[in-house]
Structure 1
Amino acid sequence: MEFKFDNIDQELYNLIKLKDNVINISNYQFIEPVGMAILKALVLSENVNVENYGNTKSYMDTLFNKEYDSSKSYIPIENVRYGSIDKSTKHVTNLLLKHKDFQNLSAEDRKDLYDYLYYMISELLNNALNHSLSHIGAIVAGQYFPNLKKIQLCVVDKGVGFLHNIKRKYNVSSESEAILKAIEKGVSCPPPKLYSSSVNNAGYGLFVLTEIIKHTRGRLKIISNDGIVYIDENNEIHLKDNISSDWKGSIVVFELYEKNINFSKDEFFRIYIYQDNEDTEDIFI
């Protein structure tokens, strides 16, 4: 058994299956960071126990117990609370960039990658901590896969989900519709200050995240309660509701390829995002 980006919606039910308040993942041969972040969120929110005597035990122990190992390409899970977004974002980004592949980049390319990751992580943490009503805060986890040259990063919360907030302003009736609305330009929050590094004035929320993914041929999955929206490497959007899961909360996971970054973050905003005299409402994220 494996739990990966590709099968999140199909495998989520099995991953979080409870028996006598215990989740047993010993049968899993491989679990990507997003799976471990989901499990950590359940441990914190519902006080469940995770039993693991299988191949992923040492991996889980490292991620759960914050035992950073510089020889590994994955980083410990962070439980982020309001007020520590900037600190946690810097910490996670710096740990990811310690891999030798990124140390060998030019100073300019390394700064570009840092700026993109910092922006994307801080946006997702702001979303979770400011609007989800998640009593455990947010869970962030990440890993670099050197063979594939990709970074996987996820933010998980146990909050109310997308539909709860979006339906107050827009005519949406399902979680997937609410997610689609949330990634539209003009829905999420005020326009960015072009050269600002302030997390509190970060930009257009999930719209910018999706645009970065699209223009770097990455992948993005957003799960809210029983709904999911998936943007694939060809920029095609897939959505589904009533996924077979007891999950309550939000999961946002993206995969980013450094080699496909062609502009600095500020250049990207000028080309694809920023327009003068725009006004939006922060109704959700």
Structure 2
Amino acid sequence: METAERIFIPKKLNSATVSSFINSAIEVLEGEKKMKYPEIIFDFSRLHFVEPAGFVTLYNTLQFLISRGCKIYLSINRDNCSPAVKYLDDSGFFKQFGIDLDLKPRLRPTTTEIQSIKASNFRSWSSNTLVPWLQRQTGNTKSSFDDLESAISEIFNNINDHAQCEGVAGGFAQYFPNDNKIRIVIADFGVGIRHTVRRFQKDIFTHSQALKWASEKNNSSGSTPKNRGVGLTHIQQCTANLNGVVAFKSGDAEMRTQNGERKFSKAEYHYPGTYIEVILDSRHIPNIPDEEEDFEW
């Protein structure tokens, strides 16, 4: 392993640091993704804080490198690991890679397990895992999250139909009771929004132009009978109805939507594929009564 490249995971792995972290580990080329190093050691010694954005991105980064034939090694001090490493372990991160740190992991009530997004499981995750978990965090009814479940399923459809991510996609959610925030992150390491949009709009050249087009009402990239292709607009409207915020990253484009207002910015680093984060305040989610079922004998 003397020839392996050592990558230190930053002290804080969150939405502000994920893109620079990715770019330190992989080289993303337009039209092709090429490995920088055949072997990489990911060093966890500096890691002290992880947000859902960092969790999913770290998961996707390792999955991407492994899918490209890169040998991955994890450097972890099992006898003196940080609470952040224990948090990753409790949320199923190391289990996904067949690693047992002997820390007796136990899923915390405030998180879901990290979920690999595949065509075979994405519907069951949103309906059987995410929505019941949201109900437990908020005390709200299932009907309160019906539209969110539909919007997330549409995003998953887009990942499976358009992203060409070869299984490199993940979903994760966490509740922060101290500030009443729920964060749901879905991200893939696919071709990105611009690649998909340019199949329909040849006059779009930049990532920002593509993200603007894809996030506008009535613009659709739907290509299969079960995919309406309106995932971005649907999740924006759904999040607004829940008094929340949704953030997007794709390439060097970033967008944040709140109360129907979109704010765009250009990122310093390239984000491969597409990243979506939904941020909700548990105090401000409308509680919609479940409809009573009628029974006949």
- Give the superposition deviation at 1:120: 3.0
Q: Which of the pair is proportionally richer in helix?
A: 1
Q: Which of the pair is proportionally richer in strand?
A: 2
Matched residue, 1:76 = 113
How many residues align? The count is 247
Matched residue, 2:279 = 255
What residue identity is the alignment partner of 2:88? M
What residue identity is the alignment partner of 1:73? T
SS of alignment partner, residue 21 of structure 1? strand
Larger radius of gyration: 2
1:146-205 deviations in Å (ceiling 9; x for gaps)? 222222111111110000111222232211221111111111267xxxxxxxx9467832
SS of alignment partner, residue 83 of structure 2? coil
Matched residue, 1:2 = 12
Distance (Å, rounded) in 1 between the aligned partners of 2:200 and 2:155: 21
Q: Which has the higher contact order (CA 8 A, sep 6+)?
A: 1
Structure 2: give runs of 5+ residues left out of the alignment.
Answer: 1-10, 26-36, 67-71, 97-103, 291-297
Distance (Å, rounded) in 2 between the aligned partners of 1:88 and 1:166: 27
TM-score, normalised to structure 1, is: 0.74
Matched residue, 1:12 = 19
SS of alignment partner, residue 269 of structure 2? coil
Residues 138 and 157, structure 1, Cα contact 8 Å, conserved in 2: yes
Residues 9 and 228, structure 1, Cα contact 8 Å, conserved in 2: no
Structure 1: give runs of 5+ residues left out of the alignment.
Answer: 191-198, 267-285
Output the aligned Cα RMSD.
3.1
Task: Note closer, same or farther for the CA distance 1:201–1:124 as it changes in structure 2 (3 Å cut).
Answer: closer
SS of alignment partner, residue 139 of structure 1? strand
**Identical counterparts, % of pairs:** 21
What residue identity is the alignment partner of 1:26? S
The answer to whether the aligner puts 1:90 opposite 2:123 as a matched pair is no
Distance (Å, rounded) in 1 between the aligned partners of 2:49 and 2:87: 9
Matched residue, 1:175 = 207
What residue identity is the alignment partner of 1:12? S
Task: Note closer, same or farther for the CA distance 1:134–1:215 as it changes in structure 2 (3 Å cut).
Answer: same
Distance (Å, rounded) in 2 between the aligned partners of 1:72 and 1:134: 30
Task: Note closer, same or farther for the CA distance 1:265–1:95 as it changes in structure 2 (3 Å cut).
Answer: closer
TM-score, normalised to structure 2, is: 0.71
Distance (Å, rounded) in 1 between the aligned partners of 2:269 and 2:196: 23
What is the aligned counterpart of 2:45 among 14, 26, 30? 26
